[in-house]
Amino acid sequence: MSHQTKSDYESLLKRLRGQLNNTTRKEASRLEIPSPQIIWIGQRTIFRNFMEFPKALRRDPEKLLLYLNKELASAGYIAGERVIFLGRKEPSSFGTLIDRYVKEYVICSVCGSPDTRTEKNKKLGFLLCEACGARSSIKGNYA
Binding stretches for Zn ion (CB under 5 A): 108, 110-111, 113, 129, 131-132, 134
As measured in angstroms, the least distance from the Cβ of 111 to Zn ion is: 3
As measured in angstroms, the least distance from the Cβ of 114 to Zn ion is: 9
As measured in angstroms, the least distance from the Cβ of 103 to Zn ion is: 14
Using alpha carbons, list the distances in angstroms from residue 2 to 11, 13, 112: 14, 16, 46
Tell me whether residue 11 or residue 109 sits nearer to Zn ion (CB atom).
Answer: 109
Tell me whether residue 65 or residue 127 sits nearer to Zn ion (CB atom).
Answer: 127
Q: Long-range pairs for 37-45 at CB < 8 Å and ≥24 separation?
A: 38/89, 38/91, 38/94, 39/91, 40/88, 43/86, 43/87, 43/88, 44/84, 44/85, 44/86, 44/87, 44/88, 45/76, 45/84, 45/85, 45/86, 45/87, 45/88, 45/89, 45/91
As measured in angstroms, the least distance from the Cβ of 107 to Zn ion is: 9
